[in-house]
Structure 1
Amino acid sequence: MSAVSEAAVVRRPLAALWERYRRYRGRFVLAIVMSTVNKVADVVPELLIGAAVDVVVRGSGSFVADLLGVESRYAQLAWLAAINLAVWVIESASEYVAAVLWRGLAQGIEHDLRVEAYDHAQHLHLGWHESRTAGATLATLNDDVNQLERMLDIGIPAILQTALNVLLVGIVFAVASWQLLLYAFLPIPVIIAGSLVFQRRLEPLYDDVREKVSDLSGALSANLAGIATIKSFTAEERERDRIEEVSSAYRDTNLRAIRSSAAFVPLVRMAILAGFTCTLLLGGWATLDGDLELGLYSVLVFMTQRLLWPMTDVAEVLDLYQRGRASTARILALLAEPVTVPAGTRALARPVRGRVELRSVRAGYADGPDVLHDLDLVVPAGETHAIVGPTGAGKSSLLRLVLRFDDPRSGAVLLDGTDVRDLDWDSLRGSVGYVAQDVYLFSGTIADNIAYGRPDASREQVVAAAEGAAVSSYVESLEDGYDTWVGERGVTLSGGQRQRIALARALLREPALLVLDEATSAVDNETEAAIQRSLRVAGERCTTLVVAHRLSTVRHAHRIWVLDDGRVSEAGTHDELVALGGAYAALWSVQTGEGVA
């Protein structure tokens, strides 16, 4: 996101929201109209009270008598009662419609913004997600969106009602007495000026509050995900203290904002007292002198209360506004994050063969040094190739480029002779079956997880994939079989079981290219042998690219590439590399117990 666009979002987040959701403008205008009708109907009863006082005092010379041509006081009061009934019906109906419109508007924008922000986050490159905590993103997608919803549901209608109240009451005062208008409205500039001062003070405070919410969400999310590690190291007390520290920082920041916001209320009350006193005394004296009708004086007293007392809610409305503004800025900042790994537009010819080639590839993470250096590598279609080497050699970085989680700094990665940057996602990732080193299973049944990449698969196809991953016998031994529910991240399964289910998920796609990142690291030797047999069968139908530390997994590969410091140091078959007596042979001798590196 550019500095200009980011600054614009921070300065005018609500204006940016208005531009973004044009389709809600009609509903917004209708909500304003209904709120206006409601506020007009809400003001009329005070006028009717003044008219009733006028009827009682002046009788046939009252305003109602002149307006309706009715001399009887009883009839005049009956007319006022009928008018009051109609006004209350209109007020009640308009209040209901306005509430439905405002809340529907808030819910609609909340829903659309959360889905849009989540979808945008999905398309941001993997490095962006890895550079921040999952809790920070979750806080934006959930808590910040909820804060915006409260502002739209409560804050904006309250601001509108206050503005309409000032306008309508001002009209009544202007008709009655310009002098009283000036005195009654005298506190309003003070309140507005105070609001602007407090708004500038609250703005950075609530920005800080949103940051502290993000920190707290991130800490809680990380600790809950790592609860097993916390328990195993008996770190519960230490982690409790750490969460207490983060939560205290959020509490203290929130309290500073609350204290600043609450300090505004006494200022408003003093201004209200001044305005009400002016109306009470000056209007009363004018009535005693015969310059102001008693009924009109009654109206003005009620109107002053109606005008100024809602101003006590300005602090709460300001609080909602500042929270919503800060949250909106964070959401729009997320939406303004550029998609640096966009989908291409080209589609591969079918069937995809799965040939992979890396040409002079140079790659790294963020602004760090290169991890891969001018790497050249070719995996012919239909062959199984392995990538091995010490930790940090660049094996996983290479797979990230093939899957296009990242793009190379220079050079190109090709699938069937086409640069992967030019391919649409269906041609690239739709042709790949991937098993990550850190397997992720979703909360759901085993069958759901196997069919995740192919949700229309039949039960027979799911079972066949499970057999290919050597996990069918385990699943069938369970009471509910393939309908067994697994917890979030598959916590109810062992590491080996998760890996085999993930492998079945990849095999079910019948991919042109099967990519395995330490896919058998958590299985026993017998299961590994079964999986190897399955992979040899699968390898007859697709290209397979395997990263492995356990060399027994890849000894039957057509070609093994040995990486060292981001460069290919050796390449050949297992037997060729062992005979070469280099780095691979040393690794093999250590793993088989035949020597010490």
Structure 2
Amino acid sequence: MGLEKENIKSGDIIDTKVLRRLYTFVTPYKGRFYLLVGLTLLLALLAPTRPLLIQKAIDDYVTVGDGAGLLRMTYLLIGLLLIHAVVQFGHTYLSGWIGQVIIRDIRVKLYKHLLKMRLKYFDNTPIGRLVTRNISDVESLSDVFSQGLAEIIGDLLQLIAILGVMFYVDWQLTLVSLCTLPLLIISTYIFKEKVKVSFNDVRNAVSNLNSFLQEHITGMNIIQVFNRQEREYEKFQTINKEHRKAHLKSVMYYSIYYPVSEIIQAMGIGLVVWYGATGVFDLEIKVGVLISFIMYLQLFFRPIRMIADRFNTLQMGVVSSSRIFNILENDEQIPDEGNNCPEKVKGDIAFNNVWFAYNDEDWVLKDISFKANHGETIALVGATGAGKSSVINLISRFYDVNKGAILVDGRPIKEFDLATLRKHVGVVLQDVFLFSDTIFQNITLGNPDITKEQVLYAADLVGARRFIERLPGGLEYDVKERGGTLSVGQRQLISFVRAMVYDPEIIILDEATSSVDTETEELIQAAIEKMMHGRTSIIIAHRLSTIQKADKIIVLNKGEIVEHGTHEVLLKKDGFYSQLYQMQLKSVVVE
């Protein structure tokens, strides 16, 4: 057992196509977005103001002993701090708000898109990877708006504003203070490149870890039955080590970069103090200017240190966006262009020369033709892999035919609105899936039009009401994940009730009684007959004793119809069906 590992590389930091698509999600909130841009500009302008006022306070009031002027400047500084605090609050909250509402919208759109995908897409895509796209990758987009693009713009504007004020105050001292800047830029670039690689490794490791856990937790019974715990544990250890290794790499790079940047900043401040102190002694530089430059350098170096982080945040956001947009651009959806929305259908079904393959031309069904008239019961039999389940998947349009046509009431099923078509088709599958919710919600699937009285009536009809009412809470009993607190037979009975409450004109039973014991099977056989009365029914069954009353039995072998007729007619032919029947009869006698 194993999963194909995902390995996606980062692209360009500024991917204009991706950024334009992201902006379409900003459009509904562009008023707040432009306000955020305005607050970013205001913060950039406010950044150099405080050191400038402190310089004025020292040089114009402290050194000359002007207490009244110093008090006025103090009030001004306090007011400036309050304004800065309010603007910073607004900026932080607004950037976070925009990020959260946008990822909400993207996540909703992504999930809605997944709901419309062909089953083939889910057959070929690990569920854990889709979970990563919908949660981790979407979450990273929040950082693009709260810590990415807006912050990078703000940092760059702040650098420009600070540098402009520094040159205005003393250009010579500015040039001295910037001597260590090339060292910081080089170290920042190296850090950015190294962290970009480690971030890629982390994201890929998270995706692989999610995929592995989802698959192996779901298949835990197989792992335990075949005693594969130790082997699968070793695989998990390997994937988890890759995840840890990727994280530790990024931690190491941060551990090196920040102390190095602090040293470079200290060197710059040291040069300013040395050069500035000489100027103060020679009365060429005022004390306030020297102190303000120390503050300017601290303000100047901080955004440069942070900007590498911002770029990596933006880049990973762009990568996550690309992954998400790859899903949104995937057109593996069942086309829903039909406009036929009848309230009721008669239920006539016809397969006309149907060819179908899941992959290319590896045909599962080959030139299949048959007809099921209103009220008839058609049984499909054959060995595993003969194509029986594919027939019922095509009727509900989980997949589309490659060649030929399927008709309902004489009209191609592609002309029906997809939701309307499926409303008229009730399906009871062999593998019953129940959500972690109440029995009532699992039966109605959240449909507010279905009442408890209707559910109880349907449960009574299929013989499920007795066991439901014995459970704590009855219909409000929580079945837990995948219905784990119920027996296989009980889950199967609930699936019958689920099909019945929607009162479909076409009933499909896919091995519907194969998972229940003989007593339960006898209990629901009568109910099945009631369900099928007046409805077109298609039954797939391995137990040939359950389909003897079918109006027509179609025998499939390797995707082709090899025999068809009633039970009695097929037995007289002494062909494929007769052999299957005799084999099952012998096995029952032996038992």
The answer to whether the superposition gives a TM-score over 0.5 is yes
2:372 equivalent in structure 1? 379
The reply to whether residue 245 of structure 1 matches residue 238 of structure 2 is yes
49, 57, 77: which one pairs with 2:54? 49
Partner of 2:494: 501
Task: Report the 3-state secondary structure (helix = DSSP H, G, I; strand = E; otherwise coil) of the residue aligned with 1:492.
Answer: coil
Q: Match of 2:48, SS?
A: helix
Letter of the 1:143 partner, please give it: S
Q: 1:386 to 1:157 in 2, by over 3 A?
A: same
Distance 1:213 1:500, change over 3 A: same
In 2, are the aligned partners of 1:442 and 1:489 still within 8 Å (CA)? yes
2:3 matched residue in structure 1: none
> Contact 1:363–1:408 (CA<8 Å) still a contact in 2?
yes
- Give runs of aligned pairs for residues 55-134 of structure 1, distance below 5 A: 55-56=60-61, 58-59=63-64, 73-134=66-127
Question: Is 2:584 the counterpart of 1:587?
Answer: no
The AA in structure 2 aligned to 1:152 is F
Provide the rounded CA distance (Å) in 1 between the counterparts of 2:209 and 2:291. 54
Q: Encode CA deviations 1:98-122: one digit per residue, 9 max, x unaligned.
A: 1221111111112111111111111
Q: Does 1:465 align with 2:458?
A: yes
* Structure 2 Cα separation of the partners of residues 158 and 427 of structure 1: 49
Q: Say which of 33, 46, 50 aligns to 1:28.
A: 33
* Distance (Å, rounded) in 1 between the aligned partners of 2:317 and 2:251: 15
Q: Which amino acid aligns with 1:416?
A: D
State whether residues 44 and 155 of structure 2, in contact with CA within 8 Å, keep that contact through their aligned partners in structure 1: no
1:145 is the counterpart of 2:138: yes
Alignment TM-score, normalising by the size of structure 2: 0.91
Q: What are the superposed Cα offsets for residues 549-580 of structure 1, whole Å, 9 maximum, x if unpaired?
A: 12122221111111111011111111111121
Matching residue's letter, 2:72: W
Q: How far apart, CA to CA, are the structure 1 residues paired with 2:40 and 2:299?
A: 16
CA contact (8 A) 1:261 1:316 kept: no
Specify the SS of the correspondent of 2:562: strand
Q: Deviations over 1:170-197 (max 9, x none)?
A: 1211211333334444555665565556
How many pairs are equivalent?
A: 579
Alignment of 1:513 onto 2:506 = yes
* 1:389 match: 382
Corresponding residue for 1:135? 128
1:3 maps to: none
* In 1, Cα distance between equivalents of 2:51 and 2:363: 76
* Partner Cα separation in structure 2 for residue 303 and residue 258 of structure 1: 29
| Larger mean Cα displacement after TM superposition, 50-59 or 432-441 | 50-59
Q: Which of 531, 548, 561 does residue 538 from structure 1 map onto?
A: 531
2 CA distance for matches of 1:190 and 1:362? 68
> How has the CA–CA distance of structure 1 residues 586 and 196 changed in structure 2, closer, same or farther, with 3 Å as cutoff?
same
- Is the Cα contact below 8 Å between 2:375 and 2:535 reproduced in 1? yes
Counterpart contact for 1:207–1:326, Cα < 8 Å: no
Distance 2:107 2:272 in 1: 49
State how 1:244-283 maps to structure 2 within 5 Å. 244-260=237-253, 263-265=256-258, 268-269=261-262, 271-283=264-276
Instruction: String of CA shifts for 1:55-110, please: whole Å, max 9, x gaps.
Output: 34553xxxxxxxxxxxx812101111111121122112112211221111111112
Which of 222, 231, 242 does residue 224 from structure 2 map onto? 231
Query: Which residue is equivalent to 1:69?
Result: none
Is contact 2:48-2:165 (8 Å) kept? no
Q: RMSD of the TM alignment (CA)? A: 2.7
**CA distance 1:468–1:318, shift in 2 (3 Å):** same
Q: Which amino acid in structure 2 is aligned with residue 254 of structure 1?
A: H
Q: Which moved more, 1:258-267 or 1:340-349?
A: 258-267
Residue in structure 1 matching 2:320, options 318, 327, 335: 327
Residue equivalent to 1:432: 425
Secondary structure at the aligned position of 2:55 is classed as helix
Against the structure 1 CA distance between its residues 188 and 469, is the aligned structure 2 distance closer, same or farther, given a 3 Å change threshold?
farther
In 2, are the aligned partners of 1:436 and 1:516 still within 8 Å (CA)?
Answer: yes
Deviation at 1:169, TM superposition (A): 0.6
Contact 1:362–1:374 (8 Å) recurs in 2: yes
The match for 1:292 is 285
* AA aligned opposite 1:579: K
SS of 2:370's partner is: strand
Q: Which moved more, 1:25-34 or 1:566-575?
A: 25-34
TM-score (norm. length: structure 1): 0.90
1:370 has 2:363 as partner:
yes
Structure 1 distance, partners of 2:448, 2:518, is: 31
* Structure 1 position 273, deviation (Å): 4.3
Which position in structure 2 is the counterpart of 1:163? 156
- Aligned partner of residue 485 in structure 1, secondary structure: coil
Q: Extract structure 1 runs of 4+ deviating beyond 6 A.
A: 6-10
Sort the Cα spacing of 1:196 and 1:574 in 2 relative to 1 into closer, same or farther, 3 A. farther
Matching residue of 1:209: 202
Match among 542, 545, 568 for residue 575 of structure 1: 568
Indicate the larger mover: 501-510 or 427-436. Answer: 427-436
Q: Render the CA deviation track for 1:189-225: whole Å, top value 9, x for unaligned.
A: 6655655565555545433432221111111112222
Q: Which moved more, 1:334-343 or 1:248-257?
A: 248-257
Cα pair distance change 1:595/1:83, threshold 3 Å: closer
Query: What pairs with 1:344-355 in structure 2 (closer than 5 Å)?
Result: 344-355=337-348
Supply the distance in 2 between the matched residues of 1:198 and 1:404 (Cα, whole angstroms).
Answer: 52
- CA 1:309–1:43: 2 relative to 1, 3 Å: same
Contact (CA 8 Å) 2:13, 2:314: kept in 1 or not? Answer: no
Answer with 206-215 or 108-117: which moved more: 206-215
* Structure 1 residue runs without a partner (length 5+): 1-5, 60-71
In structure 2, the CA distance between the partners of 1:345 and 1:288, relative to structure 1 (3 Å rule), is farther
Residue aligning to 2:405: 412
Tell me the equivalent position of 1:66: none
- Aligned partner of 2:214 in structure 1 is 221
Q: CA deviation at 1:448?
A: 1.5
Please list, as runs of the form range in 1=range in 2, the aligned pairs for 1:157-196 lying within 5 A after superposition.
157-185=150-178, 187-188=180-181, 191-192=184-185, 195=188
Report the CA distance shift for 1:284/1:14 in structure 2 as closer, same or farther (over 3 A).
farther
For structure 1, which segment, 282-291 or 371-380, has the greater mean C-alpha deviation from structure 2 after superposition?
282-291
Deviation per residue, 1:459-481 (Å, 9 max, x gap)? 11001111222211211222322
- CA 381–181 in structure 1, closer or farther in 2 if over 3 Å, else same: farther
- Aligned-partner residue type, residue 337 of structure 2: G
Aligned-pair CA distance for 1:401 = 1.2
Q: Pick closer, same or farther for the CA change 1:453–1:91 going to 2, 3 Å.
A: closer
Distance 2:167 2:13 in 1: 40
Counterpart of 2:414 (choices 387, 396, 421) is 421
Offset at residue 321 of structure 1 (A): 3.2
Q: Is the 8 A contact 1:469 1:500 kept in 2?
A: yes
> Does structure 1 retain, via aligned residues, the 8 Å contact 2:188–2:305?
no
CA distance in 2, matches of 1:539, 1:259: 68
Question: Counterpart amino acid of 1:219?
Answer: F
Worse-superposed segment, 279-288 or 368-377 = 279-288
AA in 1 matched with 2:482: R
Residue identity (%): 31
Counterpart of 2:33 in structure 1: which amino acid?
F
**Residues 262 and 315 in structure 1, CA contact (< 8 A), matched pair in contact too:** no
| Structure 1 residue 322: Cα displacement | 3.8
Structure 2: distance between partners of 1:368 and 1:271: 65
Contact between 2:549 and 2:567, CA under 8 Å: does it hold in 1?
A: yes
Is the 1:589–1:595 contact (alpha carbons within 8 Å) kept by the matching residues of 2? Answer: no
